[in-house]
Amino acid sequence: MPGILVVAEQHNGQLCDVTAELIGAAVTVKSRIGGPLRVLVIGASVNPLSKGVALAGVDEIQTVQTASDHFDPLVYEQAVMAAASQDKPFLILIAHTANGTAFAAGVAARLGAGLASDVFGLDVEGELIATRSAYRNKVAMELDFPGKDVVVLTLRGATFAPAEQGGSAPVSPISLLLGAIKGASSHIEYQEPTSSGIDITKAEFILSVGRGIQNKDNVQRFEALAERIGAVLGCSRPIVDSGWLPKAHQVGQSGKLASNCQLYLAVGISGATQHLFGMKHVPVIIAVNTDLGAPIFDVATFGTTVDMFELADALERHFN
């Protein structure tokens, strides 16, 4: 029985929402793949984390005890290899996050596995089919993995329905000699980013600004505009790197996922891949950029090349 292995993602000892989504995705194909569904929990807080992944459809929870909940890609890679060598799963599911992508390819290479990243569709039609974007998100591409005994997929967050509560899977520890892992890091401390009192992951309407805002003096104007129209102010990475807004506002692969957003107004954002990761799943995206060739228009529901400041003038008059 080949089965499925899900690698739980946790941050500083707290399970990330994407873990339940990974398990939910696994449950949808479990009966057609065959074998058990196992969840691998890695960290110092394995007991509480294990309780959090005991969801419906999970057959076994495997744990690797580490000295710290700090993420180390080499430790995760070795832990997954230990679990895969022991149980020989056919499908390994990992979150498509900064952490997940740091070790997924290494695992696939060592196993000689098929690999697909940023997967947003999963099906079994006699064989496993993974769907991901291609050509700058202009097409959805279906991939199969002929001749592969194991497949590693990183799944896009806020895409698959999370697994339901009600599981009661047994917990099995896996022994791993952490001291034998060459290059493993030693965690000193975790510093929380400065809080700004907002939670991008829970916002339903986001007005996000990018390089087109030109200078820091304009941030306050768009912050006030966001409040006026009932939106939460988001931004792309250059705005945070410039120190114009706290990191809590950043949407993207190294920021936050707009998990609950239904309307995303992108103003002066070109649409780099890292930013699109955090918002391209939103049902309605409105892009405002004077560059008609900006990648943001590839994922936008509606778009305009009007000057962002002229748009701000119009919105301020309308919502005055």
The answer to the question of whether 269 is labelled as a binding residue is: yes
The answer to the question of whether 270 is labelled as a binding residue is: yes
Query: 24 and 56 in contact (C-beta within 8 Å)?
Result: no
The answer to the question of whether 236 is labelled as a binding residue is: yes
Where are the chain's structural domains? Answer: 4-180, 200-318
Q: What's the confidence (pLDDT) of residue 263?
A: 97
Helix-, strand-, coil-residue percentages of the chain, each rounded to 5: 30, 25, 40
* Residue 195 burial by Cβ neighbours in a 10 Å radius (0-12, 13-18, 19+): exposed
Arithmetic mean of pLDDT, 232-253: 92
The answer to the question of whether 105 is labelled as a binding residue is: no
Per-residue pLDDT reduced to its tens digit, 12-70: 899 998 999 999 999 999 999 999 999 999 999 999 999 999 999 999 999 999 988 89
* Highest mean pLDDT, choosing among 1-5, 87-91, 192-196, 211-215: 87-91
The answer to the question of whether 211 is labelled as a binding residue is: yes
Percent of the chain with pLDDT over 70: 97
Evaluate whether 4-180 and 200-318 have a shared fold. yes
CA 289 to chain centre: 26
The answer to the question of whether 275 is labelled as a binding residue is: yes
- Residue 206: strand, helix, or coil: strand
The answer to the question of whether 7 is labelled as a binding residue is: no
CATH number of 4-180: 3.40.50.620
- Of 49-58, 67-76, 175-184, the range with the lowest mean pLDDT is 175-184
CA distances from 275 to 182, 236, 305 (A): 33, 6, 19
The answer to the question of whether 57 is labelled as a binding residue is: no
For all residues of the chain together, what is the average pLDDT? Answer: 92
Residues 284-300 as b/e (b if ≥16 CB within 10 A, e otherwise) read ebbbbbeeeebbbbbbb
Residue whose tokens read 């005890």? 65
The answer to the question of whether 259 is labelled as a binding residue is: no
The answer to the question of whether 286 is labelled as a binding residue is: no
The answer to the question of whether 186 is labelled as a binding residue is: no
- Of 33-42, 127-136, 141-150, the range with the lowest mean pLDDT is 127-136
Q: What's the confidence (pLDDT) of residue 167?
A: 83
The answer to the question of whether 251 is labelled as a binding residue is: yes
Query: 294 and 271 in contact (C-beta within 8 Å)?
Result: yes
**Of 279, 284, 281, 283, which Cα lies nearest the Cα of 302?**
284
- Of 114-128, 182-196, 209-223, the range with the lowest mean pLDDT is 182-196
CATH number of 200-318: 3.40.50.1220
